[in-house]
A and B are shown apart, each in its own frame.
Chain A
Amino acid sequence: MEEQSVKRQSVWIWDEDYPYSLNASELQDPTIGLKDVFSNYSLVDCQYLLWEWKHCHYRPYLFSFGNGIHTLYHFMGKIQKLLNVAWLIDKEFGCAQLLVASNSLTFHEFKEDNYCSFFTELDNSLKPVITKIFNQEEGLQGFMNVLRHWWDMGVDWRHLDVGDRCGVGSEIPEFKRLMIMVEIMNFIYKSNGMNESQNVYAYSNYLSLEEGRQPVKTIMKIFSKWEYEDLKEFLRKLFYTMDSYGGLEEGIMGDRGGIAHTYHKLIDLARQLSLKDESYFADDKHFMIGDFSELGDFWSDYDKPPFHHLPKTNLAYLITKLKGFEYDSLHRNLHEFMQYLVSSENIFANNYTGMISLFQGLEELLEVLYLIMLNRVQTEW
């Protein structure tokens, strides 16, 4: 009965934070926790899953989240763990030594091999950054609540948002904070000399393995779902969202989330194509679509599509054009635009030209992709 003399202590996690997703050994040595996270999910996997998770209500066509609901649950558990480690690094003096290796030199190396959506620069020390993010989300428990909410979102029986969900706008900054946390922790993990596993789910940040391996087929899937005109209309709609009462009302996010989702996919698909060499475009087999019915309305009115940005339409010109886009900044600026819709403090706040050039860039990309497909795609009769 000796242990009885030690008094029980209760932590009320609605009032105070406690890293309860870590077990005893992980509490002693948080690197074990980090290892558990990144040996299951690589950085790209994390980025991709988080991105799909955020958009699970806007998926315009059927998309599977890894192995379904189990992956979601498992992934949520690992993200919880990751946030717990971040909290420990912030609060516990002993754990802050993980930050020692995270200097500008290692950051430079990290940036060479890894793409980050939000974690793009390292000022002096990471600690104030982590502290700031926790403050913005109202602590560890705030993050846990976000994950609870997202979990409900993921397992909801409704798969498409019809525009009546509440607090949709708040998901955008929540997403950013979660993502930046994942990226920072991955940087810390790697700068301490640990290796992550292979990608299991993701080809890139915005594409699943399957989508990334067959970019043409995926592009055609998108083009046959919406006609060219529709996709342009979507873009216009997204652009003019900023005029509605200086931002977003609750619930009107509806298809805007879906538009952003689709355009990120298009950007990434274009990037995958731009990495291919000339011979890829010359080879017909990459552009062969077996099932004619998959193409939908693609061929119906291709006579005079309005192309605003392109003086020439021959394939060689299109391919050079394709290789000339700055894909990273397109992605980042599209993220920034979504941020801009819900908060006034943003790089676009007094920079309308920047915003316009983003949308022009997207339109141009769409035109290039469309013309390449028109040029190259063939069907087996």
Chain B
Amino acid sequence: MNTLKPIGIIDLDTSRHDISYVSMLALYWQFFDAAGYESHLLANDKLLRTVISNEIYPNLYLSNATYQLELNRRLIDLAWLYLTYKENAGNGCDVSVLNDPERYRPKFCYSSKSTYYFDDYSSLHMKFDEQYKPFKREDDYMEVVYRFKGKVRWLTLDEIENPYAFYRSIFEKRTHLDWIQLLSKWGEYTFLPKSICLEMDGGEVYDTYVLFQKLTEMAYLVNRYEDYIPDSRKFLYTNFGEYPSHLTMDEIISPQIVVFDIFRKSTIETVLNEMFWWLDSVLHRQEITDFKRVYNIYISVLRIAEFCWVFKPYKRRGIGLKDDDNIDENTFYSSFFESLNYQTNYVGVKERSQPLSALNWIFSRYKRELGYLRSLLSDCFEASFGKRSSSPDDAIIESLKTNCAQLIELAYLFHIVLQEEKE
């Protein structure tokens, strides 16, 4: 037996040797057909508890545990197939420097010789390396929570951005065969009223558990946000109508870049005046010759709108649940606004006191769709060069004027706050 070759033993009930992107997606789909997302995550929790403790938990008994482990095995198979798919396609193989798995990994230091993860007689502390920046990480974490509405807990931003590197790191420490055997070890301890820590290090067991969760989340992202195999951050927004297509990836991740950029080049007054000049000329059917000037203001408004789209809080539709967090955020910003001596002309008192909600209110006038607002703006842009057919109603343009003015002013206010925070 040649054991040096990297071999993946695929236990999926298909005879498809062709790993095309359609069949890959079907495999991901089949996984969630067999296991619900949340229930699989929860069952993994139980699995960890059973394995690591000296008891057998009643909820997870008999074949359930092995079924759960078979599902995790399937996730590992999927990871393997993803890698083969990518490597055969010849792309995605560049592993960026960002994805050093050790980067944020604190080291666990056990003070006693016990290999138990933690017991009454041992103490445990973590050692961080020099480059460890806890706040950077927290930012990332918030970002992930924000984007995926709490559906993703364990994956870091780096991993989401580069599934290839994430999947690859799985097989760097253990081969596929090792994983299978580790899973059967777990299986054994689900039926034993003993802790798996008798045999292996508790930290390692916990890492494995975290990895199962991460694999589940990754599969979820691929299945949920993808029509295609993800290799970029483009799958953050489901459909075109929600996707801020005029922002770069970095700008989507940290949207403050957009406003810093715009308000460094020009003042708030210029942006507002230009916007009014442009939309008024559309309203009065004036032919414009200065293409560059119109294009600049069109792009600026568009980017501010997209900034606001990314920046606005996520609001559940049609569910009357109190959202206390939003109100807190609102007061934070509004109290900050009070301290500024900037007089708003278009943003009212109510909007000023709840600026984040105000963003939602504005978008609710456009079917809560970024795409709709964007199409109106591009219609206006075309109309200013004489394509009358696409010109919107006068009333719509009027309201567009005020709404854009509000967006610009709000964006400006946020920009000041963000700048203060940055310093």
Chain A residues with Cβ below 8 Å from B80 are: 8, 10
Determine if B191 is an interface residue (Cβ-Cβ < 8 Å).
yes
Q: Is A88 touching B1 in the complex (CB atoms < 8 A)?
A: yes
Determine if A14 is an interface residue (Cβ-Cβ < 8 Å).
yes
Determine if B334 is an interface residue (Cβ-Cβ < 8 Å).
no
Please count how many residues in chain A sit with their CB below 8 Å of the partner chain's CB atoms: 34
A20 to B179, CA, bound (A): 11
Which residue in B6, B17, B87, B177 is a CB contact (below 8 Å) of A23?
Answer: B177
Nearest-CB distance from B1 to chain A (Å)? 4
Chain A residues with Cβ below 8 Å from B63 are: 151-152, 155-156
Nearest-CB distance from B7 to chain A (Å)? 5
Q: Is A69 touching B1 in the complex (CB atoms < 8 A)?
A: no
Least CB separation from B5: chain A residue:
A9
Which residue in A23, A28, A74, A157 is a CB contact (below 8 Å) of B62?
Answer: A157
Which residue in A4, A11, A15 is a CB contact (below 8 Å) of B93?
Answer: A4
Nearest-CB distance from A60 to chain B (Å)? 22
Chain A residues with Cβ below 8 Å from B81 are: 10
Least CB separation from B172: chain A residue:
A3
A74 to B7, CA, bound (A): 25
Please count how many residues in chain B sit with their CB below 8 Å of the partner chain's CB atoms: 35
Least CB separation from B62: chain A residue:
A155
Determine if A304 is an interface residue (Cβ-Cβ < 8 Å).
no
Determine if A296 is an interface residue (Cβ-Cβ < 8 Å).
no
Q: Is B187 touching A73 in the complex (CB atoms < 8 A)?
A: yes
Chain B residues with Cβ below 8 Å from A151 are: 63, 66
Chain A residues with Cβ below 8 Å from B66 are: 73, 151, 155
A19 to B14, CA, bound (A): 19
Chain A residues with Cβ below 8 Å from B95 are: 1
Per-position contact with B for A121-149: 1 when CB-CB < 8 Å, else 0?
00000000000000000000000000000
Nearest-CB distance from A16 to chain B (Å)? 10
Chain B residues with Cβ below 8 Å from A92 are: 1
Which residue in B4, B9, B192 is a CB contact (below 8 Å) of A13?
Answer: B9
Chain A residues with Cβ below 8 Å from B14 are: 12, 14
Interface residues of B in 143-192 (CB under 8 A from A): 175, 177-178, 180-181, 184, 187-188, 191-192
Interface residues of B in 1-31 (CB under 8 A from A): 1, 3-15, 17
Interface residues of A in 276-302 (CB under 8 A from B): none
Q: Is B3 touching A8 in the complex (CB atoms < 8 A)?
A: no
Nearest-CB distance from B300 to chain A (Å)? 43
Q: Is B1 touching A9 in the complex (CB atoms < 8 A)?
A: no
Contact A10:B10 (CB < 8 A) given known A4-B93, A15-B15, A92-B1: yes
Interface residues of B in 71-113 (CB under 8 A from A): 80-81, 83-84, 87, 93, 95
Q: Is B177 touching A20 in the complex (CB atoms < 8 A)?
A: yes
Least CB separation from B15: chain A residue:
A15
Least CB separation from B17: chain A residue:
A12
Interface residues of A in 1-40 (CB under 8 A from B): 1, 3-4, 6-15, 18-21, 23-24, 27-28
A70 to B178, CA, bound (A): 21
Q: Is B8 touching A9 in the complex (CB atoms < 8 A)?
A: yes
A88 to B2, CA, bound (A): 12
Least CB separation from A80: chain B residue:
B184
Chain A residues with Cβ below 8 Å from B1 are: 19, 27-28, 88, 92
A312 to B151, CA, bound (A): 81
Q: Is B83 touching A8 in the complex (CB atoms < 8 A)?
A: yes
Chain A residues with Cβ below 8 Å from B175 are: 24
Chain B residues with Cβ below 8 Å from A69 are: 62, 191
Chain A residues with Cβ below 8 Å from B15 are: 12, 14-15
Contact A18:B9 (CB < 8 A) given known A4-B93, A7-B87, A27-B1: yes
Nearest-CB distance from A5 to chain B (Å)? 11
Least CB separation from B11: chain A residue:
A13
Interface residues of A in 35-88 (CB under 8 A from B): 68-70, 73-74, 77, 88
Least CB separation from B193: chain A residue:
A70
A351 to B322, CA, bound (A): 83
A207 to B389, CA, bound (A): 92
Q: Is B9 touching A24 in the complex (CB atoms < 8 A)?
A: no
A73 to B84, CA, bound (A): 32
Chain A residues with Cβ below 8 Å from B4 are: 6
Q: Is B10 touching A23 in the complex (CB atoms < 8 A)?
A: no
Nearest-CB distance from B238 to chain A (Å)? 31
Chain B residues with Cβ below 8 Å from A152 are: 63
Least CB separation from B81: chain A residue:
A10
Least CB separation from A74: chain B residue:
B188
A240 to B178, CA, bound (A): 51
Least CB separation from B95: chain A residue:
A1
Which residue in A1, A9, A11, A68 is a CB contact (below 8 Å) of B191?
Answer: A68
Q: Is A12 touching B181 in the complex (CB atoms < 8 A)?
A: no
Which residue in A12, A14, A27, A74 is a CB contact (below 8 Å) of B3?
Answer: A27
22 pairs, CB–CB < 8 Å, chain A vs chain B: A8-B7, A8-B83, A9-B5, A10-B9, A10-B10, A10-B80, A11-B8, A12-B12, A12-B15, A12-B17, A18-B7, A20-B177, A20-B180, A21-B180, A21-B184, A27-B1, A28-B1, A69-B191, A74-B188, A77-B184, A151-B66, A152-B63
